[in-house]
Structure 1
């Protein structure tokens, strides 16, 4: 994909919400450790998500693009040919690692799976023909006399990009997801079996000790596909609102092992999430389900988990 603008090429405009952090001063570091600061949740909480200070601005880039290009393709073109200072994160580029989660047009999703055709929108005109501000979007202008969006010939439209909501911004489109990963770690995201090796009649280790039936595997198999991208947490109004809620990603991790027939700590895992900051904080909005790149119905899984915890 070329970064130059040609007359016979289609273009797209990326409107990027940028951020450069301010260097932390000694006084700020001392204040962060004040004994009068509000205590944080055992799952992370307020201090872990302290909003960094710095310069914020919106910058637009118009580049040549095709409808089938991904938003990640566009950012790489900008990085390589237009502005090397633009910061964003990615790894595999195929929707498997989850490292490139951002907000596209306000919706958390992955850069590498979002195409220009799906996300580019015509920009609505700010004023009508008489100079008054418009209150409706471009879709509301159905009659021929109504002004259309300000999209130049050959332009695919505008895509607005911001860092993943609900997390501190480190720089430009890079969010600090360490609070989410720490919450997941606190729930011990690994199999906890009884540790006793079964043996055969000949005294050898029984390698079939942990075989499962297909129906046992089906109870947690989809949940094991979670890539901890943070899209569900960025979509959650409780988590993004700055509360101490453990978050949907951690609850999905807990459910994955609670439903694993080989794990022997299901009761302890349920105790860990049966708190005011755990499942009790979930409001069942189910916004966490909308953009999951792995196809997990996060809201439904959490609802089933809540039922399991309450019925034990």
Structure 2
């Protein structure tokens, strides 16, 4: 099917420009202010505090096809309309995770979200009754169906006119740096604290002839399967933005850090599994997970984050 080129889409972008830092803040602030701990990088909640700045919503209406990605649309805007629009991307193919943002309120990747899947017509907005409550599906279940000819007219209008509206904002749970760029350093710092690398015993295996044993870390398929899926995590932050505990600002290490910890706990070659479980067996570790499983909904790498979280929580408690 050949897509029409005379269609448009409207992007409603929640923009943000930070205020310049004051001179005294740049110098370190008051000498009598409370100092951060010398053993850490300061409070994670402070690092996630939203900076002050100018906030506004800006609309852009551009030509687009249903198969275009939201990233394609943003690049069109930046190259032809507004070069000041800020967003982050790298590979553009869902492999790096750098372009995570909120589309219509849902954390996902800009480069994998298509206009066809995310554009919504103004008429699809939830209806509100006289008392200000949204109408539920049960209340509209008995309403008459739209006539077939009207449905065809709607489809023709979409084909020849507007594809709809897409709302964009920076990734929830992280302080915005500018427009759609979120500061994900708090998440990366949490991952680093949990030593996201293989820790073996350091003993070099040798053969009977005294040569290096190249099969020292050979694994069977069952051992590989325990952590292989988890190794696909690209630390995009989508699961953290979807998590109501982490994005809500509560003290919680977050699902991304726990996934990285679980990846090495399940690795048969790693010798620090007990130490890793001790590190996450805290009030802001596995105890902070409320098993909402919203973290699984939009993972770009297909990881069932909620199930993996349940598995690591059970393993920590049973050890």
CA RMSD of aligned residues (A): 3.2
User: Could you tell me which residue of structure 1 aligns to residue 290 of structure 2?
Assistant: 283
User: Could you tell me which residue of structure 2 aligns to residue 60 of structure 1?
Assistant: 59
User: Could you tell me which residue of structure 2 aligns to residue 4 of structure 1?
Assistant: none
User: Could you tell me which residue of structure 1 aligns to residue 46 of structure 2?
Assistant: 47
Paired residues, number: 301
Q: Hey, what's the Cα distance between the residues in 1 that align with 2:174 and 2:72?
A: 24
Structure showing the higher helix proportion among its residues: 2
User: Could you tell me which residue of structure 2 aligns to residue 17 of structure 1?
Assistant: 14
Following superposition, the deviation at residue 136 of structure 1 comes to 5.2
- Residues 41 and 277, structure 1, Cα contact 8 Å, conserved in 2: no
* 1:117-196 correspondence runs (5 A): 117-124=116-123, 154-196=161-203
1:69-128: per-residue Cα shift (whole Å, max 9, x none)?
0000000000000100000000000000000000000000000000000000001399x9
Q: Hey, what's the Cα distance between the residues in 2 that align with 1:82 and 1:159?
A: 17
Following superposition, the deviation at residue 243 of structure 1 comes to 1.4
Q: In 2 relative to 1, CA 296–10 (structure 1 residues): closer, same or farther, beyond 3 Å? A: same
- Residues 173 and 246, structure 2, Cα contact 8 Å, conserved in 1: yes
Calculate the TM-score normalised by the size of structure 1: 0.88
**Secondary structure, counterpart of 1:13 in structure 2:** strand
Q: Hey, what's the Cα distance between the residues in 2 that align with 1:311 and 1:301?
A: 15
Following superposition, the deviation at residue 26 of structure 1 comes to 3.0
Q: Hey, what's the Cα distance between the residues in 2 that align with 1:55 and 1:65?
A: 29
- Residues 100 and 110, structure 1, Cα contact 8 Å, conserved in 2: yes
Q: Hey, what's the Cα distance between the residues in 1 that align with 2:68 and 2:39?
A: 43
| Structure 1 unpaired stretches of 5+ | 1-6
| Structure 2 unpaired stretches of 5+ | none
User: Could you tell me which residue of structure 2 aligns to residue 227 of structure 1?
Assistant: 234
Q: In 2 relative to 1, CA 70–201 (structure 1 residues): closer, same or farther, beyond 3 Å? A: same
Following superposition, the deviation at residue 34 of structure 1 comes to 2.5
